[in-house]
Every structure is written in structure tokens, then in C-alpha cells.
Amino acid sequence: MSNVLDWSERKITDRRFMPNEHGQPYPANFKAELAIVYKRFFRLYAHIYYSHFKQLEDAGVERHLNHSFKHFVYFVRRFELVEESELAPLQSLIDAWKIPSREVLIEMASEP
């Protein structure tokens, strides 16, 4: 887990990938590379849910994990950062929370 977090920190602080100057262009492959970061984050969530949920429950912090993961799913669906097929390991959880599909989220965002 720490390897993924270290790698993602290096990635998003790399100014060639994530420029911080106004008007500086993002690389042509920005969305594809960002999708890799989010796919790896999803795998961390899956690992936590499958391997560590009981410990989080015992500590009384599972609500924080659930809250964070719900926001994560809304975000990656809305901006098409993780393929739906990649979400399969936690699909039953996503379905139980009735998180809207990508199409519905996009439609909701375009309403006045």
C-alpha cells in the first residue's frame, strides 16, 4: 500500500505531469495517466475492504472509509477515470449504496 501511495505522490507532484503555473499546458496523456492513479487507488480501497475492514470496524472508523469511498466512486464515475469493469470487486457495495451510473451523473451535472 505504501508503494502505491509513494508512487502516486511522486506522480501528482511532478510538475511535468501536473503543472501548477497558470496557463501551463497539461500533457496530452494527462487523463490516461490520471486514470492509472485512480485505478490504483481503487485497488487500495478493494484491499482495505477485503483485508482490513474488520479492524476498521473494531476501531469504529468504518463510516469514514465508506464516506471516502462513496465520494471516490462518484468522482471517478463522473469524470470517467476508472472503467466500470475495474469496479467489479466492490460492485455489490456500490450497488447497495445506489450510486448512480456514469451517464446519470453526467446528466445531473448538466442540469441547470
User: Given this model, what pLDDT does residue 27 score?
Assistant: 94
| Across 106-110, average pLDDT | 80
Confidence of residue 103 (pLDDT cuts 50, 70, 90): confident
Q: Judge whether 48 lies within some domain.
A: yes
Q: Please determine, for residue 109, whether its predicted confidence score (pLDDT) is greater than 90.
A: no
Question: Domain for residue 15, yes or no?
Answer: no
Domain contains 102? yes
CATH code of the domain containing 67: 1.20.140.30
Number of domains the chain is built from: 1
In a domain, 36, yes or no: yes
Whether 77 maps to a domain, the answer reads yes
Q: End-to-end CA distance of the chain, in Å? A: 41
DSSP secondary structure string for all residues of 41-105? HHHHHHHHHHHTHHHHHHTT-HHHHHHHHHHHHHHHHHTT-S-GGGGGGGHHHHHHTTPPPHHHH
Whether 100 shows a pLDDT value over 90: the answer reads: no
- Report whether pLDDT(102) > 90: no
- Higher pLDDT: 110 or 16? It is 16
Residue 21 maps to a domain: no
**Residue 4 covered by a domain:** no
Q: For residue range 38-78, what is the model confidence (pLDDT) as tens digits?
A: 999 999 999 999 999 999 999 999 999 999 999 999 999 99
pLDDT at 110: 78
Whether 78 is covered by a domain: the verdict is yes
Domain residue limits at 68: 31-110
